[in-house]
């Protein structure tokens, strides 16, 4: 796919945009872009296209793109001189992509919403590094290698920071244990797009 883009096929990049807009939007809102998320994603795709000459053949496109999204989100938040409130961040995440299927039992849906809110509140109490690694690894469903690439950290650093972050979340969310399987993800609700392996 990247080779087709580099060869000058405009439709090839349009396919990439369609495939990764959802996860890029979720990343932007999860990292604090809020109402500016769509602008952040649009600018990120523009910067990604402009930087394709530096994209390494054989690498995964998704973590490379999300690193650009993270940087663009950080710049946007700093440029307007404020951090998004938890309420606005949660609302933006829900608006970006439904987290609970419409067919879900109302009681189950209520529990899932409460669980999600509790997790987001706990994430706000973590350091930026710990919040980032949990967001990428679980909320955005990236594997360890992808998380390391997106954050620009060695895999060992991802593993150690993730372990510390999960222990901290376990303290903030007593009774859950906050094991990796217990962290809410898009896939656990039947949502989310494919992982984009074809772009490797």
pTM beyond 0.85: no
Q: Are 19 and 86 spatial neighbours (Cβ–Cβ below 8 Å)?
A: no
- CA dist 25 and 17 (Å) reads 11
Please tell me the predicted confidence (pLDDT) of residue 14.
Answer: 92
pLDDT exceeds 90 at position 33: no
Between 157 and 121, name the one with better pLDDT: 157
26-30, 72-76, 77-81, range with the lowest pLDDT: 77-81
Instruction: Please tell us whether the domain made up of 2-82 is placed in CATH 1.10.1740.10.
Output: yes
Q: What is the mean pLDDT of residues 34-55?
A: 91
pLDDT exceeds 80 at position 176: no
Q: Give me Rg for the CA atoms of the chain.
A: 17
Q: Are 34 and 92 spatial neighbours (Cβ–Cβ below 8 Å)?
A: yes
Q: What is the mean pLDDT of residues 160-169?
A: 94
- Average pLDDT value over all residues in the chain: 78
Please tell me the predicted confidence (pLDDT) of residue 138.
Answer: 84
Using CA atoms of 56, 58, 60, 61 in order, give the dihedral in degrees to the nearest 10. Answer: 50
Contacts 24+ apart (CB under 8 A), 151-159: 151/67, 151/70, 152/67, 158/133
* Burial label, 199 (beta-carbon count in 10 A; 0-12, 13-18, 19+): middle
Q: What is the mean pLDDT of residues 152-169?
A: 94
Alpha carbons within 13 A on the beta-carbon side of 1: 20
For 178-188, how does the pLDDT look when each residue is reduced to its tens digit (9 = 90+)?
544 455 554 44
> Could you state, in order of their start, the residue ranges of all structural domains in the chain?
2-82, 102-188
pLDDT exceeds 80 at position 85: no
Estimate the crossing angle of helix 155-172 against helix 106-124, to 10 degrees. 110
The first and second tokens of residue 68, run together, are 């650009």
CATH code: domain 102-188 is: 1.10.10.10
């Amino acid at each position: 796919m990247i080779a087709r883009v580099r060869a000058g096929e405009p439709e090839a990049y349009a396919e990439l945009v369609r495939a990764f807009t959802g996860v890029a939007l979720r990343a932007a809102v999860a990292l604090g872009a809020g109402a500016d998320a769509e602008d952040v994603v649009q600018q990120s795709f523009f910067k990604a296209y402009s930087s394709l000459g530096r994209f390494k053949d054989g690498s995964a496109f998704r973590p490379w793109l999300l690193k650009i999204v993270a940087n663009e989100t950080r710049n946007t938040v700093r440029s307007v001189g404020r951090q998004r409130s938890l309420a606005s961040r949660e609302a933006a995440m829900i608006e970006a992509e439904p987290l609970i299927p419409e067919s879900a039992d109302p009681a189950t849906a209520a529990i899932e919403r409460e669980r999600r809110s509790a997790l987001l509140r706990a994430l706000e109490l973590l350091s930026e590094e710990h919040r980032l690694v949990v967001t990428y690894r679980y909320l955005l469903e990236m594997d360890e290698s992808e998380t390391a690439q997106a954050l620009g950290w060695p895999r060992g650093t991802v593993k150690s920071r993730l372990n510390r972050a999960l222990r901290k979340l376990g303290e903030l969310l007593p009774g859950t244990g906050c094991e990796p399987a217990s962290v809410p993800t898009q896939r656990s609700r039947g949502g989310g797009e494919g992982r984009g392996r074809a772009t490797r």
